[in-house]
Structure formats: structure tokens, C-alpha cells
Amino acid sequence: MPEFTGYRRDDGRIGVRNRVAVLPTSVTASPIAEAIAAEADASVRATPHQMGTSQPERAREQTERTLAGTGRNPNVGAALVVELGTETIDADDVADRIARSGKPVETLSIRAAGGTRAAVDRGAEVAGDLVDEVEAARRETADASELVFAVECGGSDATSGIAANPAVGEACDRLVEDGGTACFSETPEFIGAEHILAERCADDEVRERLLERVDAREDMAALMGVDMRGAQPSPGNQEGGLTTIEEKSLGAISKGGTTPVRGIVDYADDLPVGGGLVLMDTPGYDVESVTGKVAGGAQVVAFTTGRGSTTGNPIAPVIKVTGNPATWDEMASNMDVNAGTVIEGDSLSTVGDRIYDTLLSVADGKRTAAERRRLEEFAINEIQPNELAELRGEAA
């Protein structure tokens, strides 16, 4: 059984990084969180985001769930939640939800601390103390079955569906066979391929939920009276040879491999450990989608790209895989795995092995290109007014 080493947390989960997360509850607290992370130790990471101080209830719940889930991610050893102090999201609530995983959590109110300068100073001090606490953690051996592996695609072109995605899919199949969890998302990119996923659902309940989510995402186009063709495939996808959303979807779903779909969870909801292939209902926006899966507990992400991408994440290492030999050459400093060799004759299984090995070595501590360059984006999906109306049953 493949193994790696990681940091065992009190809730039993295993982290592949030992971060202290600084989580702002709003856009207002975000620059303070960033300043705290900049002043503190290198293992401290902020998750600045764009959400406001008062959101509609469903949107607020999603923001809170994402922040709490990010703090609970096993790559996080301790967390500091920062608020201005006037938000509808209460830092103590987020902290309580994180504390249930047994890790140290502190809160900081910018108002109570006496303004921004004082808050940054106080925050850096608290973060420093948390670093001291998490540094006691030592890597120990863990089983591949304890990995939750999120897969994402962005900047797709025709090589994504031919090379990078099916090769990452092979790695997902190997992980699932070894007892782990693989997760892909981006529901708009199931459109036109949902019949294939539906056939693979483990039971009728999962199948119905999956088809409902796909309908809801497709209905959004109708609800807004828009033609998805302008955005899906994107202009970049189109330059890369992708003509329709169906074509993009058929290529996109291959990154999850071929095993049964065991379940589908909400955006940023907890992903099971040892759960097989589980889908998450996320939008097609790459960074928001990655954030959702990391909040769900994914420790490592694979990101396939044909046209190129620089994306990373503050909490989980992101392995960049390209199936386009030109992109491998042109963006070598941002890529980790060359799946373009498939086009030159390598079998998908050979490249799949290489990706699985990379997953295990990255879990074991090897830094990804995005980590080496400190490319770390974080964005929370905002539920849009039309979606809120739909959720309330008030669709036009």
C-alpha cells in the first residue's frame, strides 16, 4: 500500500502541510489578515476574500462554511480568525466550528484591538504563538487511503480531454483503488456529459441529486436569458479548439477517472475520507472551485491546463499538469507534470502512474511549482441573486 508522511491532527485526519491559517470574516478584514501573515512566520497563510460584511442568509452561510472548512482542513495546524467586528459573520462562530476539529484557534477583532496597526501587531503576535504550537507536530507515516485528492481543470484546450484529464483520471482511479477519496467539481462542466456520470452513480439517490444539480446550473442560463456559448467554452478554450460546452464537458469529466460516483456534496461541504469518487457542486470558476474543495478537506489538488495556468492555493499544494507540449515548454516554471507525452506516444497509464507518484511525493512534502513561487489564490463563491431566488423557489 502506498504511503506518505504527514501531520496527524486531533480529529484523526492527516495534514500534508503544517500551516497556521489567518481567516478574515470579510473583505474589510482581508488586508489585515494578509498583513498579519506577511509579518508572521513563513508557515502562516492568509485567505483574503471579497465577501462583504452583510450578505443574504444563504450566501452568508456559504461564506461561513467555506471559512470554517478551510480552518478545519488537516493541512492547517492552527487558525486565527480576524474580524472587523461589525460583520454578520461572527469570528467566534467560525472559530467554534474550527475548534471542533481539536486544533488551537484564536480570534481577533480589529475594533477591539484598537484599529488596523494594533490589530496587525497583535495578530502577528498571536500567529507567532500558534506557529510555536504547531511546530511541535512531526511527520508520521500515513496511508494513501487517508488522502482526499481534488482535481480541477482550467484554461482547457483540446489536449485537456485527450491527455491531461484522462491521465489525472488514471491517478484518481489508482487512489480510489487504494482506498482514498478523489473529488472533481464544476457542475457547469457536467453539461452534455451528465448521462455518462449518471450511469456511474452508485445509487439512484446520488443519480437524482447529480441530475438536479446539472439542471439547476443549466437553468441558470435560461433564468438569465443568456447564451452560455459566449462563456462556455471560454474564448481561450475556443482558441484551443474546443467548440461547445458538450465537448468541453466530455473532456472535463475524464479527470475524475472511471470509478463509480459515490456521492455529491454542496460547495465547501465536508468530503469523506476513504470515500471513493465524490463530486462537489461548484461553479466553473477555477479559484472558487479549488477553494470549495480545499474547504471540503482536500489536502492536495491536481490542476490540469492546456493553455496554461499559474493557480495555487494558500492551504493545499496544487500540482499543475498540462497535456499541451507547447504549454509545457512555454510555462515550464509553472508546471509540475508533463502529460503532453501522451500525444507523443506515452500510454495514459504510464502518465497516470507519474501523476500518482507526484501526488504522493507532494503529500510527503515536495513543493509544487505554485508553492515555490508563492502563488496562492483564494476566493469564495458568492451565491448570485438569481440563484438565491431559485433557492427560495421564486424563479422567474
**Residues in contact with other proteins by the rule CB under 8 A:** 157-159, 161-163, 166, 188, 191-193, 196, 218, 220-229, 232, 238, 240-241, 243-247, 250-251, 306, 324, 326, 342-343, 345, 347-348
Looking at residue 303, the DSSP 8-state letter turns out to be E
Q: How far is the CB of 261 from other proteins (least distance, A)?
A: 18
Q: How far is the CB of 332 from other proteins (least distance, A)?
A: 19
Q: How far is the CB of 326 from other proteins (least distance, A)?
A: 8
Q: Report the residue number, 43 or 244, with the smaller CB distance to other proteins.
A: 244
Q: How far is the CB of 210 from other proteins (least distance, A)?
A: 16
Q: Estimate the crossing angle of helix 286-295 against helix 57-72, to 10 degrees.
A: 60
Q: Report the residue number, 159 or 289, with the smaller CB distance to other proteins.
A: 159
Q: How far is the CB of 23 from other proteins (least distance, A)?
A: 35
On the 0-12 / 13-18 / 19+ scale of CB atoms within 10 A, 35 is: buried
Q: How far is the CB of 159 from other proteins (least distance, A)?
A: 6
How far apart (Å, rounded) are the C-alpha atoms in residues 72 and 65? 10
H/E stretch holding 58: helix 57-72
Q: How far is the CB of 247 from other proteins (least distance, A)?
A: 4
Q: How far is the CB of 395 from other proteins (least distance, A)?
A: 12
How far apart (Å, rounded) are the C-alpha atoms in residues 188 and 209? 15
CB neighbours of residue 205 within 10 Å? 11
H/E stretch holding 44: strand 44-46
Q: Report the residue number, 100 or 229, with the smaller CB distance to other proteins.
A: 229
Q: Report the residue number, 38 or 343, with the smaller CB distance to other proteins.
A: 343
Q: Estimate the crossing angle of helix 30-39 against helix 116-134, to 10 degrees.
A: 50
Closest CA to 213 of 15, 168, 205, 293: 205
Q: How far is the CB of 257 from other proteins (least distance, A)?
A: 13
CB neighbours of residue 81 within 10 Å? 29
Q: Report the residue number, 199 or 205, with the smaller CB distance to other proteins.
A: 199
Strand partners, 7: 15, 139
Q: Report the residue number, 117 or 229, with the smaller CB distance to other proteins.
A: 229
Specify whether the CB–CB gap between 20 and 43 falls below 8 A.
Answer: yes
Q: Is the dihedral of CA 162, 166, 167, 168 positive or negative?
A: positive
Q: Report the residue number, 131 or 339, with the smaller CB distance to other proteins.
A: 339
Closest CA to 98 of 5, 36, 10: 10
Q: Report the residue number, 69 or 240, with the smaller CB distance to other proteins.
A: 240
How far apart (Å, rounded) are the C-alpha atoms in residues 140 and 331? 34
> What phi, psi does 292 have (nearest 5°)?
-60, -45
Q: Report the residue number, 343 or 389, with the smaller CB distance to other proteins.
A: 343
Grid coordinates given for 342: 501522451
